Amino acid sequence: MRVATWNINGVRARIETVSAWLEKSRPDIVCLQEIKCIDEAFPTEAFERLGYNVALHGQKGFNGVALLSLLPLDDVQRGLPGDEADVQSRYIEAVVSVPSGSLRVASIYLPNGNPPDTEKYVYKLAWMERLRRYSAGLLALEEATLLCGDYNIIPEPRDCHDPAVWAGDALFLPKSRAAFRSITNLGWTDALRAVDDRAGRYTFWDYQAGARQRNWGIRIDHVLASPQAADRIAGVEIEDEVRDWEKPSDHVPVVVELRM
């Protein structure tokens, strides 16, 4: 089974790119972030024609997450618990039935947090603490679970082209990385690092300054696996060639293969 995560940076602007990638890569489940539209404006029919079931948690103009699945999506939950006042669409979760039982999958769009001297950074850290508490409860279920998405966190210096450039950025501040570790330390496995410890494995290149051509990238799109899912990881691919397609997102798909 192949599970992918991709910040698409506006699904309606890139529907042809996404459709072409789905036909080429054919993942079983796809977690999309930054769909940038309300549910009613999402191009659901285009994905249904390719055989995908669709679950949405959209928002007008920005944010928004979605799940696409070749298998039925059950027990869909929209929104990260812990703050009823939070109206930003950044979390969706569902369960799919697989030969070995079930797989719980979440699509996450964690706040950016910049500038770090504003309420945006306070919100980022609070959101991460909510995710830590909620993910601890998921681990207690002892199910195969994947938390997939754009975490807006550069976990380590090897995950960016030049740590000095990112030193003051909310994606790389010590508090941000510590908050990410507080989640993984619960027992979640960074899927890529379970199979690949190389530096320079990036998932995002800015549109400006020839970042892609210079390989000035960062790794901020992650898949965290519960112990029951981590034991089944067969491989992880960063499909970075998609960044060179026409009208690309600034992120690329990360695909985890599981023995299910």
C-alpha–C-alpha distance, residues 49 and 41, integer Å: 17
Please indicate if the annotation marks 57 as binding a ligand: no
Q: How far out from the chain centre does Cα 164 lie?
A: 25
Q: Binding site annotation covers 190?
A: no
CA angle 149, 184, 186 (to 5 degrees): 130
Q: Which of 28, 150, 169, 221 is labelled catalytic?
A: 150
Catalytic annotation present for 150: yes
Which residues sit opposite 141 in a β-bridge?
none
CA dist., res. 40 & res. 105, Å (int): 23
Nearest C-alpha neighbor of 10 from the set 43, 55, 47: 43
Q: What is the CA angle 68-71-73, rounded to 5? A: 65
Q: Check if 222 is active-site.
A: no
- Is 63 annotated in some ligand binding site? no
- 161 among the known binding-site residues? no
For residue 83, which phi and psi values (nearest 5 degrees)?
-155, 95
> Of 52, 109, 151, 202, which residue is the catalytic one?
109
The per-residue DSSP string of 30-82 comes to EEEE---S-GGGS-HHHHHTTT-EEEEE--SSS--EEEEESS--EEEEES-TT
User: Does the active-site annotation cover 74?
Assistant: no
Q: Give how far Cα 48 sits from Cα of 68, 85, 93, Å.
A: 9, 33, 19
Residue (of 50, 260, 40) closest to 146 by Cα position: 260
Using omega within 30 degrees of 0 as the cis cutoff, is the peptide bond preceding 99 cis? no
Annotated binding site for Mg(2+): 7, 34, 150, 152, 250-251
Residues annotated as catalytic are 109, 150, 251
Binding residues: 7, 34, 150, 152, 250-251
